[in-house]
Chain A
């Protein structure tokens, strides 16, 4: 990422911070619409899950400028998700749903540079989560 992109991700995140609960709603709605098979992996009552999602997103966005901090978050998170049965392909679906939810939250502020910045930020997170997931599979299989 370029420093400008990091700033863009963090500043646009600041703008949508008050709307995080609705962002979580849109995200899960988009996710299950894109792949209904993912729905059973989550509890019926999503209230707590949505709060966890918002908290984790806040932590990760905050850690983006310092790669070691980010890795500390994402590797463990990826390892945990592998345990939940999340496959590499699912990361694409999640990415698309997340970008869609952010686009909805930002409205007119979601311009092309912002989309690029969030895409690269998500790639970074997904890539490092997959690393964490891979280490678990290797040991576990």
Chain B
């Protein structure tokens, strides 16, 4: 606009892409820069009156009507130009012309003349599909009109826009849903987001946005779609309505009912998409289907649905996928299809993992007509959808119906799973399992009940008992192997047999793929989750992280929330062990958000405990305590229960109460020992040493002998070396940890090595160890642990001095320090005095300053 070479800007693009908005922004900008501006709108009605649209530009009282009453356009155009020049002191009038192709020819001619004479600067919008008037395309070809083609957003643009508009990250599944519904159309996206926010379908939890349900069709969205398709012929509308209800439709069928012109016109207008290879027609935009359905009179929709159902039934009696479509159409039409059709439809929906549809189909079966298989399918769907109490009722009902032994087994197994995972009642789950055993006695099926009991023991916190139960299974069929691996891999890893665990998980996955997707069995991705857990317990942290990252992508695409939760929680756990605490915090927050959204109480407890641990290790004692308090409202959950206590212990540590932390850790370690959580016990006992320097090496060494895990062995080495103040061994433990990627533990062991070297008078080795420790600590994303605190301080303190100093720099009085550490006030003051001397300071304030840099 700053040069005279251009007479305007043509903004071209599809409906809803933001042409008008961009034009208006340009106009606002021009106005803010001091240019006069005007706005003209093209429309079908205004076009009927010549010059009607541009009336605002015309000066009144001009003599362009000659004595015969004819309009003299030359005079009119020239007088308008002169009037504009006078009015705006020679500055070009910036004129927005929205929907320029809809202007009448006279208006276009006037605008073209004024622009060519540099009286106005045009900002025109034109919709894709509308022919651009010759006058405008001529100016564009001459290079006097700058053309901007606005495209729909691509996936990356949409994600960026959502992030900025919502002010934070969005869960992967929700992002995909917005993408699929809007296909990058900014106008639809805007309405979808507003609609979802207003209906509280889109909600923020733990800093991440989640979708609670499918996106709603708002009235405003219906209006927008209506504007887009409003002016098509009545035949074309019939096609659109038919597709909105029943798509995809066979092209061959549509061609017999509608003329080729109608279909062609719809395709040209970009309203339908024809997949020639599949011979299928669909609406081009998913939003259109939803909005047209929502706006259609119910009786009309019903008539179309029933006609199509009847037609398809006559055409393909009893055919597989057609049957599901027919059942859904009849339901949509308010009819109750035959229960056998609904059941067959539910089977098909189950294999597509569409649990919402399974529920919808089977809840339409009249009470008393649902058979045992139907109850099994509905119960499973309700469990997957987080409706645990309803699931228990339906499954109990199914158990009362006569059925084959196999169906009875699967009802029992699913109900027990629902009781253990959903209702968090392991005792109920065991009772369900025991009752089923009285009924089901034939060999392979009875063994499934054994595996099921084992699963309840495992996930209620008894790995040892779970392994003992599994020993009783002798069958070696494919299904038996898969079910055994699902429990066995986790139990073996928890018991410290990590090599066996990794093998079991790998074999289990391969067997599961061969078995196919069966009922009453966990998703195949569960084996991958198990493998991640086993790799973690084996200290193979990098492999665990990579596997889990690949896993979380695959299950997010298939929408298996429980697997997504487990992958996120395991990623949090791996990151914690790696010492990447900020990363751990984000993964645990993600797991907690998903668990909350899908109502899985057990995994929520585990994720919140992990989140607390991450906050506490980062030194955020207050946020840690708040997160810990959220656990009060969450049911108890046995899986890795002793490990959850790390949350309590580290919150105490972060609040400078090491004695309380040690009490919690020792009690949890006892619990772990009595239930056979060997790797967890090793973690807890190692942390006793890390938080307060208390020696636990004897038991840690026992555990290292009982387990095959290098991580457990490194913890034992660390503790034994610390007890012996053996600098070389401590440095060795640090190397072990570093090789596994456990950087925080490595940094702490190096720090302890520095202290031991210094004690032994080897200052050179001490300095080197100190430097290594600082480098390792810098990889830990801001972790603040007692073992790290003094890492960067040149003169190491003794363990006791360190404890006292830590409390002192947090402003705690000597008297209270004495109480917390079971020392006399005099001893505390002696320790402080020694620390002052070593650090070359003379007061508490200086002490904090001397240590401040390392925090």
Which residues of A are interface residues toward B (Cβ below 8 A)?
1-8, 10-11, 14, 65, 67-68, 113, 116, 119-120, 123-124, 127-128, 138, 141
Contact = CB atoms under 8 A, between A and B. Distances in A.
6 contacts: A1-B160, A3-B587, A4-B549, A6-B169, A119-B156, A127-B164
A128 to B, nearest CB: 7
Contact of A3 (B33, B164, B582, B590): B590
Given A14-B779, A128-B164, A4 B33 contact: no
Given A7-B583, A10-B583, A116-B156, A67 B164 contact: yes
B164 A124 contact: yes
B385 interface: no
Interface in B361-375: none
Given A14-B779, A67-B167, 18 more contacts: A1-B170, A2-B170, A3-B171, A3-B208, A3-B589, A4-B553, A4-B590, A5-B169, A6-B586, A7-B587, A8-B549, A11-B580, A65-B169, A119-B156, A120-B156, A124-B160, A127-B164, A141-B32
Contact of A127 (B160, B169, B170): B160
A4 B171 CA distance: 8
A8 B175 CA distance: 17
Contact of B163 (A1, A4, A10, A116): A1
B351 interface: no
Contact of B160 (A3, A6, A65, A123): A123
A116 to B, nearest CB: 7
Given A67-B167, A67-B168, A141-B33, A1 B159 contact: yes
Interface string B155-179: 0110110011001111110010000
Contacts of B171: 2-3
Contacts of A8: 549
Contacts of A138: 29, 32-33
Nearest to A109: B546
A108 to B, nearest CB: 11
B140 to A, nearest CB: 21
B582 A124 contact: no
Contacts of A4: 172, 549, 552-553, 590
A5 B172 CA distance: 9
B32 A123 contact: no
A113 B172 CA distance: 12
A2 B172 contact: yes
A123 B154 CA distance: 12
A123 B156 contact: yes
B611 to A, nearest CB: 13
Nearest to A138: B32
Nearest to B28: A138
Contacts of B583: 7, 10-11
A68 B164 CA distance: 10
Contacts of B207: 65
B22 to A, nearest CB: 13
Interface of B: 29, 32-33, 156-157, 159-160, 163-164, 167-172, 175, 207-208, 549, 552-553, 571, 580, 582-583, 586-587, 589-590, 779, 781
Given A119-B156, A138-B29, A65 B586 contact: yes
10 pairs of A and B residues whose beta carbons are closest in the complex: A123-B160, A2-B172, A3-B590, A141-B33, A67-B167, A3-B169, A1-B169, A120-B159, A1-B163, A124-B160
Contacts of B156: 116, 119-120, 123
A11 B574 CA distance: 13
The secondary structure that dominates the A interface is: helix
Contact of A2 (B32, B167, B169, B779): B169
Contacts of A5: 169
Which has the most chain A C-beta neighbours within 10 Å: B32, B163, B583, B586?
A: B163
A141 B781 CA distance: 44
Contacts of B175: 2
Contacts of A128: 164
A121 B781 CA distance: 20
B134 to A, nearest CB: 31
A8, A14, A68, A116, most chain B CB atoms within 10 A:
A14
Given A4-B552, A6-B586, A7-B586, A120 B160 contact: yes
B587 A123 contact: no
Given A7-B583, A14-B779, A124 B163 contact: yes
Contact of A113 (B159, B163, B553, B586): B553
Contacts of A11: 580, 583
B160 to A, nearest CB: 4
A70 B580 CA distance: 21
Nearest to A10: B583
A53 B111 CA distance: 49
A138 B32 CA distance: 7
Nearest to B567: A4
A10 B33 CA distance: 41
A124 B156 CA distance: 10
Nearest to B775: A18
A119 B163 CA distance: 13
B570 to A, nearest CB: 13
Contact of A67 (B29, B163, B553, B582): B163
A123 B158 CA distance: 10
- Max count, chain B CB within 10 A of own CB: residue among A7, A8, A127: A7
Contacts of B587: 3, 7
Contacts of B552: 4
B586 A3 contact: yes
A116 B156 CA distance: 8
Most buried by A among B159, B207, B580, B583: B159
A65 B156 CA distance: 17
Contacts of B160: 1, 120, 123-124, 127
A58 to B, nearest CB: 12
A6 B171 CA distance: 11
Nearest to B32: A138
A127 B158 CA distance: 12
A50 B168 CA distance: 30
B589 A14 contact: no
B805 to A, nearest CB: 30
Contacts of A1: 159-160, 163, 169-170
A141 B28 CA distance: 13
Contacts of B167: 67-68
Nearest to A124: B160
A47 to B, nearest CB: 24
A54 B421 CA distance: 48
A123 B157 contact: yes
A67 B582 CA distance: 16
A1 B169 CA distance: 5
Contacts of B32: 138, 141
Nearest to A125: B160
Contacts of B163: 1, 67, 120, 124
A68 B167 CA distance: 8
Contacts of B549: 4, 8, 113
A138 B27 CA distance: 12
